[in-house]
């Protein structure tokens, strides 16, 4: 997992220079890992469970934004300020 603390900010710092297809692929894997961590917790009140659950939801919203350009309410403007989207076929900027 990229962010062991389930921090979206840390994750964005890692993927911010990747092209679009790489970013989507890695975000999908990270969301799956975070969701598995959230489900593993046995106690519903477990802090790790809720933090990783929110992180996974935010990553899924980020995937929707990357694929369709639709920003869900869980994704805030400041979450995306360091992201520069590039087409995977060439180095042109698309957002």
Are 33 and 59 contacting, i.e. CB atoms less than 8 angstroms apart?
Answer: no
Predicted local confidence at residue 91, as pLDDT: 47
Beta bridge partners of 93: 86
User: Which tens digit of pLDDT belongs to each residue from 34-92?
Assistant: 988 888 765 666 655 688 889 999 999 999 999 998 888 888 888 888 776 665 555 44
Considering 3-7, 29-33, 65-69, 73-77, the range whose residues carry the highest mean pLDDT is: 29-33
* Beta-carbon contacts of residue 23 (< 8 Å; ≥ 6 apart): 15, 66, 85
């Amino acid at each position: 997992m990229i962010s062991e603390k389930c921090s979206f900010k840390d994750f964005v710092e890692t993927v911010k220079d990747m092209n679009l297809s790489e970013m989507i692929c890695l975000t999908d894997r990270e969301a799956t890992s975070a969701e598995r961590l959230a489900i593993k917790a046995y106690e519903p009140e477990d802090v790790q469970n809720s933090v990783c659950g929110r992180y996974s939801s935010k990553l899924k919203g980020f995937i929707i934004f990357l694929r369709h350009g639709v920003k869900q309410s869980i994704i805030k403007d400041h979450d995306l300020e360091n992201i520069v989207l590039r087409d995977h076929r060439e180095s042109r900027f698309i957002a």
